[in-house]
Amino acid sequence: MKIQHLSLRNFRNAEESEIGFSPGVNVICGANAAGKTNILEAIFYFAAGKSFRNCKDRELIKFGCEKGQIGIKFATQNVEYDMSAILNKSGRRIIKLGNSVPLKMTEYIGRFRAVIFTPDHLSLVKGSPENRRRFLDLAICQSFPRYAPTLNEYNRVLAQKNALLKRGNVIDELLQVYNERLASLAAVITVNRRKYVLKLEEEAKKFLLDMSGSKENLTLNYQSQAGLFESQDELKEKYLQLFNEKAGYEKERYLAFYGAHKDDFAVCINKKSARMYGSQGQQRSIVLALKLAEGELSAKLTGEYPVFLLDDILSELDKDRKEYILSRIIDRQVIITGCESEVFESEGKIFVREGKISY
Ligand code: ATP
Ligand code: MG
């Protein structure tokens, strides 16, 4: 999968920009605050249907404007696509393929796929479980688009349950309705995430062994409050049982404490928690291994490598890790921000200044 062109209209600090990409390594150069990350953010928007910076659509629209617009042209092995997104201040956005009618999430997710690397990703190892869940969910949605509506529905029902708990004076019949719905959705989510983590572990393990001279054995252990399970049906029953047992606890605290929104995976090197015992360098290597593994899995599951987006990570890495990552992705399409272009050969060089592009 290769991105050929990106156009921006009133997106972040870009008023009107047209950017062409070459099929190999592309470097985006520019001073701090020039608009480099904004370009990757626009590209990744089509992979995730939202910003990777975890912000609202309205923050993406250029200050003082009512609307923003982004468009990409990209090609898979067989077909070329044109996708566009119109972002409105009101929060309503429209995503289209060519001149199609506006698409639903299931219709566009997974068409354009990308893996993004950012310095923030150290939080995958060091941060709260939410970081790891977000990583898994984004990766799974791109390879299995049908996962996205399940996740949305789960979050919708969870919000309803929380609203009910918050109100106090809970109607038990209604709580039971929410819990039953949540149990079936949570089972689908947890099963999918656990399956993905097993595959991810297999790929990431190889990368980490490679980077550490065969010294570090990575394991990922999926953890759900419902415990171990053999099948989705069994898991659903376990979730429901848990919700029923904890109903009193949740009512007293006015909040849903149990469910797939509390899942996590433990990251260990040689059986020891990487969060607690890993050195900074080991943690960085794990994150690289996880992200490279995400790219590998995306290729295995869909038949094509995604586009690799590297935001500012090369300046963060030591020489060995820098060389390692570049050696693993150099024959794919890569878009790198930062100005250390001298460390590798690039086909395309793009300069940004105050949101404006030059070559
Ligand atoms: P660095 O090298 O520091 O990472 P960068 O080139 O990646 O910098 P970006 O994050 O892409 O910089 O762009 C930041 C610029 O975009 C800032 O000057 C910021 O004020 C501006 N900006 C962010 N959101 C908006 C917006 N909605 N409208 C206009 N400008 C914005
Ligand atoms: Mg940046």
Residues 6+ apart with CB under 8 A from 4: 20, 21, 72, 73, 74, 75, 80
In this predicted structure, what is the pLDDT of residue 339? Answer: 65
Which atom of ligand 1 is found nearest the CA of 352? Answer: 6
Measured CA distances, 79 to 2, 141, 301 (Å):
11, 21, 18
In this predicted structure, what is the pLDDT of residue 233? Answer: 97
Calculate how far, in angstroms, residue 71's C-alpha sits from the geometric centre of ligand 1.
19
Residue nearest to atom 24 of ligand 1 (CA): 12
Domains, the chain, ordered by start: 1-113+306-359 (3.40.50.300), 127-302 (1.20.1050.90)
In this predicted structure, what is the pLDDT of residue 345? Answer: 63
Measured CA distances, 176 to 157, 190, 235, 242, 256 (Å):
12, 20, 17, 12, 13
Q: How deeply is 199 buried, as exposed, middle or buried, from its count of CB atoms within 10 A (0-12, 13-18, 19+)?
A: middle
Determine phi and psi for 4, rounding to 5 degrees.
-105, -35
**What does the block give as tokens for 170?**
């809970």
Determine phi and psi for 84, rounding to 5 degrees.
-135, 155
Measured CA distances, 242 to 182, 183, 232, 251, 283 (Å):
11, 9, 15, 14, 34
Distance CA 55, CA 210 (A): 35
Residues 6+ apart with CB under 8 A from 63: none
Helix (H) or strand (E) holding 181: helix 172-211
pLDDT digit string, tens, across residues 199-211: 999 999 999 999 9
Residue listed under structure tokens 């995306």: 298
Residue nearest to atom 18 of ligand 1 (CA): 33
Calculate how far, in angstroms, residue 127's C-alpha sits from the geometric centre of ligand 2.
21
Contact 68, 11 (CB under 8 A): yes
pLDDT digit string, tens, across residues 277-319: 999 999 999 999 999 999 999 999 999 999 999 998 887 788 8
Residue nearest to atom 14 of ligand 1 (CA): 33
Which atom of ligand 1 is found nearest the CA of 38? Answer: 11
Which atom of ligand 1 is found nearest the CA of 61? Answer: 27
Give the mean pLDDT of the chain: 94
In this predicted structure, what is the pLDDT of residue 314? Answer: 81
Calculate how far, in angstroms, residue 49's C-alpha sits from the geometric centre of ligand 1.
20
Q: How deeply is 104 buried, as exposed, middle or buried, from its count of CB atoms within 10 A (0-12, 13-18, 19+)?
A: exposed
Residues 6+ apart with CB under 8 A from 90: none
In this predicted structure, what is the pLDDT of residue 347? Answer: 67
Identify the CA nearest to 351 among candidates 73, 62, 36, 43: 36
pTM over 0.85: yes
In this predicted structure, what is the pLDDT of residue 106? Answer: 85
In this predicted structure, what is the pLDDT of residue 50? Answer: 92
Q: Which residues line ligand 1 (CB under 6 A)?
A: 12-13, 30, 32-38, 59, 61-63, 312, 337
**What does the block give as tokens for 181?**
């719905």
Which atom of ligand 1 is found nearest the CA of 36? Answer: 6
Calculate how far, in angstroms, residue 65's C-alpha sits from the geometric centre of ligand 1.
16
Contact 307, 333 (CB under 8 A): yes
**What does the block give as tokens for 20?**
């062409």
- Per-residue confidence at 354, pLDDT binned at 50, 70, 90? confident
Residues 6+ apart with CB under 8 A from 156: none
Calculate how far, in angstroms, residue 38's C-alpha sits from the geometric centre of ligand 2.
7
Ion ligand 2 — residues with CB < 5 Å: 36-37
Calculate how far, in angstroms, residue 78's C-alpha sits from the geometric centre of ligand 1.
35
Which atom of ligand 1 is found nearest the CA of 65? Answer: 28
- Percent of the chain at pLDDT exceeding 70: 97
pLDDT digit string, tens, across residues 76-131: 998 999 999 999 999 899 999 999 999 998 889 999 999 999 989 999 999 999 99
